Chain A
Amino acid sequence: MDGNSIKDKKIIDRTLPEVFFSNMKLSRLDILNLIWMLNTLGADYLEINLDILKKVEKLPPNLNFIYRIYSWTDLEGLALHSFNNILLSSDVPQFRSILDSLTLYQKDITIEFRVETIKQLDNLGRLFEAGFMKGVRTVRIIGLNRFVTNEWLDICGRIKTRYGVSIDICPENRFYNATAAAVDGIMEAADFVTASFTGYGGVSGYAAIEQVLTFIKVILNPSHRIQLKALPEMSRSFSKAAGVKIPENMPVIGENIFKYESGIHADGINKNPMTYEPYDPQIVGQERKLSIGKHSGRKSALKKLQELGFEAENVQISMFLKLLREKSILLNRNLEDNEIMDLAKLAEVSNVYNAVIMNPAKS
């Protein structure tokens, strides 16, 4: 798949309604901050609902929004902002009547359907054939929890071709497949992919937009407009808004994912970081960090000691590594700088020499 066809794919972000659902005390400024950051990161469209619209009062111009309708009363929002894109779930009460009414607005309409089996996907085609989808520009397929290989995408491709409709996929994460399904969609038949920050929201979460954007940027199309350097700031804003702490090993945004210790990895990274990194940490606004502990090898130990002001020839490195392993196991973790310095002093050649001279039996 070439970079140009990837550029034609659009990413829809649904973080805002999910966060607002769990925290209605979000301020107008918090919401606007999230809107701008998600757009900067690379979201092409942002999903909005009436509650959010009323809170911010006025949406930033020149950004693309998709307005979600849950009931008749939400049509009020169409008078408050000129949305080009409207989203309606097929589960909504009086769905058919609301859809008929929406077609009068001459907007791009997306209808959301839940799909968990191939049969349900095939049934979508029947709705088109029966004429129930007049005026619908895009079909959003939500769910896809149990699909592993891509038969479902082949069917999506046929629906697109046969009925001239766009496909938006919104995979759910009940069985940890959401990001993979979103990535598959981008590489195959989907025109849009819907995700949320960290996959937040819903019953079992969605594709994590930061993972999807990173895959696009790093693997598929490095020249894409996606800007990932703002991820640390986005993570902080999101954590504050949603009231959740991001796990330290969370893909792409975890604060410790570029911490390394093992001697083999440290040696490889020292020679060429690409040996053990999928991408430069700076792409996602992070730095790699060398940790010293049980798994440290000779070279990273020496590097650290030099950093702390010790001359290599003054430290008996084998002894230092032995002490390091013992201390690390005792503490059940890696060591801090002051602890490393204490061990280095014990392993200094002069001290080892004195220990041998003073206690030849013990040595």
Chain B
Amino acid sequence: MNIFIVDTTLRDGEQKAGIALGINQKVDIARILDSVGVYQIEAGIPVMGDDEKQSIKKMAALGMKSRISAWNRLNLGDIKESIECGADIVHISVPSSDIQIRSKLNKDRDWILDNLKRCIAYAQNRNQEITIGLEDASRADFKFLMNIITIAFKEGVKRVRYADTVGILSRRRIYDEIRNIREDIEIDIEIHTHNDMGMAVSNSLAAAEGGAEFVDCTIGGIGERAGNCNLLQFVKAAKACFGVFEDVDELSLVEAQKDILRIIKGGRVRIY
């Protein structure tokens, strides 16, 4: 079993209400994450503004081992900003549940699929590696999810992110859904869980067992509402349950967590 960690402390983690990082803080955190060997750092949302773009550009220029990715809405303007930052990967988040498509965007499924193709083409024409996020996948119609994945795959996308945006998954369900996706399409799957019901780590483990090779985590599990999958807890659990991460030193991760939380809030972030 292979598991690659995608750390989203600097994007989803920073979205936790009350956290506000400057350019240097973000770059310092990225260096620490790189030092503990995370595969990918989701560095931020360039369309948010100049500071955000500057921080991502700086990270991308450091030549770190960790790959740098930037998060985007399903929007050409967002993607343009990300490409200008020099990120290794541009992640395009596609609202996939009817709640998101109808209530948030006031659109329909056809609009989503049309814009998905446009955004993929725009990025690929600029030789940009992309991943596609299935936002609110756990509340989406599974057939529509497969529709999105199929289109993305046919357009040359190599990885999709299954996002449990509001944290309602159970282990059995995510294990089955990941298996079903993998049985139909040979695409890499990334799992992004939230901890609203206290199951983010568990659901990520189940997704990994079902075939998701990329797992999104944050330091301290910080993130929107009850947060995301806690990196340290996930690594510890995955080691015990699957025998992976044998070469990862947990003490280094503990120190990295302390250092990063100190940067974020002077160590005052109290985590669950």
Please report A residues at the B interface, Cβ cutoff 8 Å: 145-150, 174-177, 179-181, 183-184, 187-188, 208, 211, 214-215, 218-219, 245, 247-252, 254, 256-262, 264-265, 267-268, 271-272, 274-278, 289, 291, 293-295, 325, 328-334
Query: Contact between A271 and B103 (Cβ–Cβ < 8 Å)?
Result: yes
Q: A150-B172, A258-B225, A265-B15 are in contact. Are A325 and B202 (CB under 8 A)?
A: no
Closest 10 CB pairs of A and B: A180-B202, A272-B103, A294-B20, A291-B17, A211-B198, A175-B237, A261-B17, A328-B20, A259-B17, A176-B201
CB distance from B81 to the nearest CB of A (A): 15
Counting CB contacts under 8 A, is B222 at the interface? yes
Contacts of B165 in A (CB 8 A): 276
Other-chain residue from B203, B224, B226, B270 in contact with A251 (beta carbon distance below 8 A) = B226
Contact residues of B between 225 and 262, Cβ < 8 Å to A: 225-227, 230, 233-234, 236-237, 240-242
Other-chain residue from B18, B49, B166, B241 in contact with A276 (beta carbon distance below 8 A) = B166
Secondary structure type dominating chain A contacts: loop
Please report B residues at the A interface, Cβ cutoff 8 Å: 14-22, 48-49, 51, 73, 99-100, 103-104, 136, 165-168, 170-172, 175, 195-199, 201-203, 205-206, 209, 221-222, 224-227, 230, 233-234, 236-237, 240-242, 264-266, 270-272
Secondary structure type dominating chain B contacts: loop
Contacts of A252 in B (CB 8 A): 196-198, 226
Query: Contact between B21 and A148 (Cβ–Cβ < 8 Å)?
Result: no
Contacts of B136 in A (CB 8 A): 275
Contacts of A183 in B (CB 8 A): 170-171, 197, 199
Q: How far is the CA of A260 from the CA of B15 in the complex (A)?
A: 8
* Residue of B16, B196, B198, B203 most packed against chain A (CB within 10 A): B198
Contacts of A250 in B (CB 8 A): 226, 272
CB distance from A129 to the nearest CB of B (A): 29
Query: Contact between B205 and A148 (Cβ–Cβ < 8 Å)?
Result: yes
Query: Contact between A187 and B170 (Cβ–Cβ < 8 Å)?
Result: yes
Query: Contact between B103 and A325 (Cβ–Cβ < 8 Å)?
Result: no
Other-chain residue from A180, A249, A275, A276 in contact with B271 (beta carbon distance below 8 A) = A249
Q: How far is the CA of A187 from the CA of B264 in the complex (A)?
A: 39
Query: Contact between B209 and A148 (Cβ–Cβ < 8 Å)?
Result: yes
Closest B residue, CB atoms, query A272: B103
Known pairs A218-B168, A256-B18, A278-B197. 13 more at Cβ < 8 A? A149-B206, A150-B171, A180-B199, A184-B171, A215-B170, A215-B197, A251-B195, A257-B225, A261-B15, A262-B17, A272-B104, A276-B166, A278-B196
Q: How far is the CA of A214 from the CA of B226 in the complex (A)?
A: 14
Other-chain residue from A179, A211, A275, A293 in contact with B100 (beta carbon distance below 8 A) = A275
Q: How far is the CA of A248 from the CA of B227 in the complex (A)?
A: 11
Q: How far is the CA of A175 from the CA of B237 in the complex (A)?
A: 5
Query: Contact between B20 and A329 (Cβ–Cβ < 8 Å)?
Result: yes
Q: How far is the CA of A354 from the CA of B100 in the complex (A)?
A: 43
Contacts of B172 in A (CB 8 A): 149-150, 184, 187-188
Q: How far is the CA of A289 from the CA of B18 in the complex (A)?
A: 12
Other-chain residue from B21, B234, B240, B272 in contact with A249 (beta carbon distance below 8 A) = B272
Q: How far is the CA of A214 from the CA of B196 in the complex (A)?
A: 10
Other-chain residue from B18, B22, B104 in contact with A293 (beta carbon distance below 8 A) = B18
Other-chain residue from B73, B103, B198 in contact with A264 (beta carbon distance below 8 A) = B73
Q: A214-B197, A219-B168 are in contact. Are A261 and B100 (CB under 8 A)?
A: no
CB distance from B73 to the nearest CB of A (A): 7
Q: How far is the CA of A258 from the CA of B196 in the complex (A)?
A: 10
Query: Contact between A332 and B222 (Cβ–Cβ < 8 Å)?
Result: no
Closest B residue, CB atoms, query A245: B270
Q: How far is the CA of A355 from the CA of B36 in the complex (A)?
A: 49
Q: How far is the CA of A345 from the CA of B15 in the complex (A)?
A: 26
Contacts of A146 in B (CB 8 A): 240-241
Contacts of B103 in A (CB 8 A): 268, 271-272, 274-275
Other-chain residue from B17, B198, B271 in contact with A179 (beta carbon distance below 8 A) = B198
CB distance from A169 to the nearest CB of B (A): 14
Contacts of B73 in A (CB 8 A): 264
CB distance from B43 to the nearest CB of A (A): 15
